[in-house]
């Protein structure tokens, strides 16, 4: 961990100068993690996280008073942001929103200076906002403790298994919060309605295969201890935490890509890696060993339909 600094400090990167004000400000006071530490972290992972953010509208989760204060969940880019920070003006019901788009390290570090602990990214890119290139299954434990996370591991294996039957890759990531994400790269030909329908149909098939352990019931009272297969992020303007994003939780856990073999690691937890420890993962990208090119849903939709009819 770097020593604390009392004065503003300039960081030069990509032809831009980022002024880090109050670098000694503790954003994670119980852990002694400062704004400067956050800036240094995001600079260290920039080659991993920038490709995951590039071209995507963001929602900024800012904690100017530290993680113990009230967070600012900010969509609009303030007027005072530098001109070199890219914006994307996108429609919303009754108006429009000017989102930040993080295409380079300077923007990433500027956001860290603004106490943006977590960048939450859209599942689509700004040039075709209605056509996602990511599909997400959000798997959170149905209960606390090791048994709850074991249900997440078990479900992630079945989810990846079904995707394999459909001819789709499943990229796994700890969320840094409670569970795992299973992410499918898409070719941006299908719109959100089509993608969400596919995700829900896949979740319905998994729940039908394992009705005692899985459910697509959104109401907690009706889940009866089963793990909820959450596909609701697959919609226009919905966001998900970015790979390598820091979470505003004690210890500063980090959303971290993993490979399928790590589901069997007894040490795996949603918050296993933190701002201080994730550096050990940077030498090897688990997703680099998977074909991550965007896939069409046309064939998988037909295969999913046949599976559901055959098992119904």
Residue 272, number of CB atoms within 10 A of its CB: 17
Output the CA torsion 87→90→92→97 (10° steps).
20
pTM over 0.75, yes/no: yes
pLDDT tens digits for range 35-89: 999 999 999 999 999 999 999 999 999 999 999 999 999 999 999 999 999 999 9
DSSP per-residue letters across 201-239: HHHHHHHHHSTTTEE---SGGGTTTPEEEE-TT-STT-E
pLDDT tens digits for range 93-119: 999 999 999 999 999 999 999 999 999
d(CA 136, CA 239): 10
Contacts for 268 with CB less than 8 Å, ≥ 6 apart: 149, 153, 174, 258, 262
d(CA 114, CA 107): 11
Plot region of 184 (φ>0 → left; ψ -120 to 50 → alpha; else → beta): beta
* Sign of the dihedral defined by the CA atoms of residues 257, 263, 265, 266, in that order: positive
């Amino acid at each position: 961990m770097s020593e604390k600094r009392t004065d503003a400090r300039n960081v030069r990167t990509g032809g831009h100068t980022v002024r880090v004000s109050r670098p000694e400000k503790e954003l994670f006071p119980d852990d002694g993690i400062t704004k400067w530490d956050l800036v240094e972290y995001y600079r260290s992972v920039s080659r991993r996280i920038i490709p995951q953010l590039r071209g995507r509208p963001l929602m900024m989760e800012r904690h100017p008073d530290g993680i113990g204060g009230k967070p600012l969940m900010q969509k609009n880019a303030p007027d005072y942001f530098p001109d070199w920070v890219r914006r994307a003006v996108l429609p919303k019901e009754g108006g429009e929103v000017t989102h930040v788009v993080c295409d380079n390290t300077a923007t990433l570090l500027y956001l860290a200076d603004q106490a943006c602990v977590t960048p939450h990214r859209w599942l689509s890119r700004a040039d075709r906002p209605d056509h996602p290139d990511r599909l997400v299954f959000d798997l959170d434990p149905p209960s606390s403790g090791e048994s709850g996370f074991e249900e997440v591991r078990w479900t992630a294996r079945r989810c990846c298994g079904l995707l394999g039957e459909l001819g789709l890759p499943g990229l796994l990531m700890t969320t840094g919060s409670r569970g795992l994400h299973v992410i499918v790269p898409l070719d941006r030909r299908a719109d959100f309605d089509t993608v969400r329908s596919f995700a829900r149909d896949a979740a319905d098939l998994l729940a039908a295969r394992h009705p005692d352990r899985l459910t697509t019931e959104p109401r907690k009272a009706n889940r009866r201890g089963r793990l909820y297969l959450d596909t609701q992020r697959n919609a226009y303007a919905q966001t998900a935490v970015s790979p390598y994003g820091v979470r505003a939780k004690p210890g500063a856990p980090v959303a971290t890509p993993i490979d399928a073999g790590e589901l069997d690691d007894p040490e795996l937890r949603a918050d296993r890696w933190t701002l201080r420890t994730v550096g050990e993962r940077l030498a090897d990208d688990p997703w680099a060993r998977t074909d991550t090119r965007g896939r069409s849903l046309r064939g998988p939709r037909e295969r999913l339909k046949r599976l559901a009819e055959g098992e119904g």
